[in-house]
Amino acid sequence: MNHTNFFHSAGLGMATGLALIVAIGAQNAFVLRQGIRGEHIVPVVVVCALSDAVLIAAGVLGTGALITTAPAAVVVLRYVGAAFLMTYGVMAARRALRPQSLTTSQGPVNGGTKRGPAAALTTVLALTWLNPHVYLDIALLGSIASAQGVQLQWWFGGGAMLGSIIWFSSLGFGARFLRGFFARPVSWRFLDGGIAVTMVALGTGLVLGA
């Protein structure tokens, strides 16, 4: 088989993965905020990338097809995820009402109470795995991967995984360039206000079955 086919499948996988990942959502909003605050960026980015790798691999292996045949599980995840998103949205709204700013040029961003690594990782894991839409993405990726054929499906999956790594690394580590802007409390008010609206909207959408 021509090597061009391998790279084409990998490129298609990367483009498809990025199309599903690059969107305003709970996970991306959290990674962006952690990047601006300069807190636990490496473990948060690693957890996001590893979670995506596991989910993408599951899709390539055909797990996505099994998920679509278990609507009850998706319903449970929908309501649990909605409750979590709305709770996080309320927390972001409270931060928006009491914004803070950078205290030093080298210290962590104080846009709210500093959280430990365990709390940050627990939050990002919940935002990733309690989102029922991610399992629909698995089914989509799995169907496109299977269409590539046995020899190319893992090239497609590998491309999607690489896209995930590039995106979360760019989002997490690139956010530091926004720290000057977020040195002002009003900037945190807008960010946390936007996050609050996003989280509540996503949670409401889940409850309504959107």
Examine the pLDDT at 109 and tell me if it is beyond 60. no
Tell me, what's the pLDDT at 66? 60
> Other CB atoms closer than 10 Å to residue 69's CB: what's the count?
8
CA-to-CA separations, 63 to 3, 136, 190, in angstroms, rounded: 28, 11, 39
Largest CA distance in the chain: 60
Q: What is the pLDDT of residues 135-164, one digit of tens each?
A: 877 877 777 787 777 778 889 899 999 999
Cβ partners under 8 Å of residue 82, min gap 6: 203, 204, 206, 207
Most confident of 10-14, 21-25, 50-54, 89-93: 50-54
Tell me, what's the pLDDT at 163? 92
Q: How far apart are CA 204 and CA 210, in angstroms?
A: 8
